[in-house]
């Protein structure tokens, strides 16, 4: 089953073409590396992990509360609507709310993947290109594990929200690599960290907690 078949609502068109206008730069000097960035590059290489083997995908999610998160995190918890809901309706709500949040993580990480690859093309020094390349691999891995969690365990996904799409559009279409870097680190990744940490700290499900913990490790 494809991702499109798992979406809770129609996604049309099935892709988003983002127009870009920036110069890619190749550098002919290969010995101008700064020690600080080269050290980060080495650390980035050493800390690479494989999502297929590091995470125990044999673990399952709870059918009534996939990530086993506290109901107090649900905005309507304790309201008249919540109190009228049946056990089955609450289970459905939990599954869809959690899938919706994880879907935005997945889409956001793909946006960060595009940002990192754009930075590799634009930064002027070879050491910065090396370091940015490790971030490309990190973001690809994050997309991979969130997609697998949604595809194999939730069997459900949601389209990107208009707010996140607008944020990514602003960051990716800016021709300046430093603004793309700032947008990726402060806005896209920074905003996501709090949500990642909340799931890592409150999820009682081992698989869900592990996925978020390893993503945060990067």
pTM over 0.85: yes
Task: Give the residue-averaged pLDDT of 108-113.
Answer: 94
In a domain, 125, yes or no: yes
Q: Which of 53, 63, 104 shows the shortest CA–CA distance to 214?
A: 53
In a domain, 27, yes or no: no
- 121-166: pLDDT as tens digits: 999 888 899 999 999 999 999 999 999 999 999 999 999 999 999 9
In a domain, 190, yes or no: yes
Say whether the peptide bond before residue 13 is cis (omega within 30 degrees of 0).
Answer: yes
Q: Tell me if 103 sits within 8 A of 159, measured CB to CB.
A: yes
Which tokens is 28 given? 């002919």
- HEC letters along 8-69: CCCCCCCCCCCCCCCCCCCCCCCCCCCHHHHHHHHHHHHCCCCHHHHCCCCCCCCCCCCCCC
Q: What are phi and psi of 139, to 5 degrees?
A: -65, -35
How high is the pLDDT of residue 99? 97
Between CA 199 and CA 61 the distance in angstroms is 14
| Number of separate domains in the chain | 1
Classified as helix, coil or strand, 7 is strand
In a domain, 178, yes or no: yes
How high is the pLDDT of residue 28? 84
Domain that holds residue 128: 73-218
- DSSP annotation of 178 reads H
In a domain, 31, yes or no: no
Q: What is the CATH number of the domain that holds 106?
A: 1.20.1260
In a domain, 188, yes or no: yes
At a CB cut-off of 8 Å and minimum separation 6, what does 36 contact?
A: none
In a domain, 53, yes or no: no
In a domain, 24, yes or no: no
Mean pLDDT computed over every residue of the chain = 92
Query: Alpha helices of the chain — where are they, by DSSP H?
Result: 3-6, 35-46, 51-54, 80-84, 87-122, 126-148, 162-173, 177-182, 190-202, 206-217
């Amino acid at each position: 089953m494809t991702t499109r078949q798992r979406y809770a609502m129609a996604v049309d068109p099935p892709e988003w073409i983002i127009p870009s206008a920036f110069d890619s730069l190749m550098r002919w000097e290969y010995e101008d590396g700064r020690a600080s960035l080269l050290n980060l590059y080495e650390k980035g290489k050493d800390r690479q992990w494989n999502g297929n083997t590091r995470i125990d995908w044999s673990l399952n999610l709870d059918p009534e509360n996939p990530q086993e998160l506290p109901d107090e995190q649900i905005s309507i918890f304790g309201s008249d609507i919540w109190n009228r809901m049946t056990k089955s309706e609450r289970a459905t709500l939990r599954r869809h709310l959690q899938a919706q949040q994880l879907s935005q993580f997945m889409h956001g990480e793909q946006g960060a993947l595009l940002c990192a690859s754009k930075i590799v093309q634009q930064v002027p020094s070879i050491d910065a290109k090396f370091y940015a390349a490790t971030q490309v691999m990190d973001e690809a891995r994050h997309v991979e594990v969130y997609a697998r969690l949604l595809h194999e365990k939730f069997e459900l996904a949601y389209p990107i929200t208009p707010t996140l799409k607008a944020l990514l559009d602003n960051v990716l279409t800016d021709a300046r690599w430093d603004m793309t870097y700032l947008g990726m680190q402060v806005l896209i990744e920074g905003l996501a960290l709090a949500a990642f940490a909340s799931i890592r700290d409150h999820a009682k499900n081992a698989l869900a907690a592990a996925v978020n913990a390893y993503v945060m490790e990067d």
